[in-house]
Structure 1
């Protein structure tokens, strides 16, 4: 089969021939139709993740969409979303024509949403949905602040907050392109990360208090956001794009009985992941949740990889084998 193969840690994968997957017991074979290039792919391929350097050569791709070719549990021809552990444990991922997938990681799709849009949302949509419904337990009428609002998780979180009837949704973004994506996703207002007085700008945009902060970035912006938590407010962290450390005020957390919570998709059961993705796609079909994206053919994977890693895309980049 044709695949994107990583041969050296820290370099981009290249397109070429690779052995067809040989499924073990409890695995299905999926013909891939769309596979997003996500930050976890880049991190694992760098060889510097906390999972350790993956054995090379291997095919990256921690999630994808496709059609089942062989399976003991799903009928051939069924459209599915799937997750893989490529780069985190031995085995190949979704950047290929075919992929062997554990049966429990298949999510049967019954949606009119195109495969590339499903792939663009994918586990980012799952994370946004579960952060707001499960960890933050967002209530109708509450106010939401989304950090990194122009990213895939941020856009999905903005849409999800709207679906869950947040009264106001404010986003923080780094660039003008990201600002436009956040506004298109449904943000009421967007604050620039480059503001000379970030906390002051956040105070003005939010009215001085928020009930939930969705934080995929951490660092200094999380420090500023945490100071705006209302009584009973919750900051949920699910990433560290801006740094691994932030500073929080004990007085604010105690006086407002506020909470700092962590989240990872890895803590979800297969059923939770399936139910979250199904809910997200129901709202995506109605146009309420979306992630800006563009597509690239699998043979262009090296260029696409460099563009994604340097942020030179119009949104999430989705490979189409």
Structure 2
């Protein structure tokens, strides 16, 4: 089959021939129609992640969309979203014409959302949805603040907060990403400018916030914590800006606020299935939106290099 094949950790994969997966008990073989590249894929392929150095050559890609070719649990032709563990465990991933994954990691898609959009949303959608609904327990009428609103998780988080009943959704985004956060449906987008005190003051104009979705950490998270409402909850699910943030004890105590962590690794396959189904259903109805770019898989080396070099901030989806 044709695939993106990584031969050397730390280098971009190249487009070429690679052995196709074989059918096996308990596994579903999917003919891939769309697959994204996300930061986790780059981290695994770097050879410097906590998963260790991956055995090469292998096909990267931790998730995708396609139709079932063979399976013991689903009929051939069923349209599905699937999860792969390429780079984290031995085996190939989604950046190929076919991919084999455990039956439990395949979710049928009934929503009328394009394959490319379903692939773009994927685990970012799961993270935003579960962090807000399950970890923060966002309630109808509460005010939500979404940090990193121009990123994949942030864009989904803006729409998800609205779907879950937030009365107001404010976002923080880098100046270049403000249009994406606005297009995702934020009521107000505060540009990430100045120092932490300036951002604290800018957010205070729209505070207090009952729930903060935080995929960035750093100064933005510090400023958000200073603008929490009584019994407010800040859920961190990433550190794209920094691995450190500073919080005031008095600010947290005076508000009886909660700082919470979230990872997709903590949820069950059933929770993941319900979350991806909810996100795709709302995306099909236009309630959750994300901007993404689509590329032929043959361009994987160039696009991967731009993404790894910080030259591309939009979600990239490949079509075999």
The verdict on a shared fold, with TM-score over 0.5 as the criterion, is yes
Partner in structure 1 of residue 202 of structure 2: 201
* Cα distance in 1 between the residues matched to 2:319 and 2:313: 16
* Cα distance in 1 between the residues matched to 2:234 and 2:141: 17
* Cα distance in 2 between the residues matched to 1:23 and 1:256: 55
How much does 1:311 deviate?
A: 4.1
How much does 1:308 deviate?
A: 2.2
Partner in structure 1 of residue 178 of structure 2: 179
The more displaced of 89-98 and 239-248 is: 239-248
Matches within 5 A, 1:154-193: 154-176=154-176, 178-193=177-192
Matches within 5 A, 1:235-314: 235-313=234-312
Partner in structure 1 of residue 107 of structure 2: 107
**SS state at 2:280 partner:** helix
How much does 1:314 deviate?
A: 6.7
How much does 1:175 deviate?
A: 2.9
CA contact (8 A) 1:293 1:314 kept: no
Taking a change above 3 Å as real, the CA distance of residues 310 and 169 of structure 1, as seen in their structure-2 partners, is farther
CA contact (8 A) 1:233 1:257 kept: yes
Deviations 1:178-214 (A, max 9, x none): 100100001111111123511111112x2x3111110
Runs of 4+ in 1 over 6 A off after TM superposition: none
How much does 1:113 deviate?
A: 0.5
CA contact (8 A) 1:141 1:167 kept: yes
CA contact (8 A) 2:151 2:313 kept: no
CA contact (8 A) 1:212 1:234 kept: yes
Partner in structure 2 of residue 150 of structure 1: 150
Partner in structure 1 of residue 53 of structure 2: 53
CA contact (8 A) 2:25 2:72 kept: no
* Cα distance in 2 between the residues matched to 1:137 and 1:54: 37
How much does 1:115 deviate?
A: 0.3
CA contact (8 A) 1:26 1:103 kept: yes
* TM-score (normalised: structure 2): 0.97
CA contact (8 A) 1:291 1:315 kept: no
* Cα distance in 2 between the residues matched to 1:158 and 1:310: 27
The more displaced of 135-144 and 308-317 is: 308-317
The more displaced of 189-198 and 68-77 is: 189-198
* Cα distance in 1 between the residues matched to 2:146 and 2:235: 10
**SS state at 1:182 partner:** helix
CA contact (8 A) 1:294 1:314 kept: no
**SS state at 1:181 partner:** helix
**SS state at 2:130 partner:** helix
Partner in structure 2 of residue 123 of structure 1: 123
For structure 2, the residue ranges without an aligned partner over 5 or more in a row are none
* Cα distance in 2 between the residues matched to 1:158 and 1:312: 24
CA contact (8 A) 2:204 2:227 kept: yes
For structure 1, the residue ranges without an aligned partner over 5 or more in a row are none
* TM-score (normalised: structure 1): 0.96
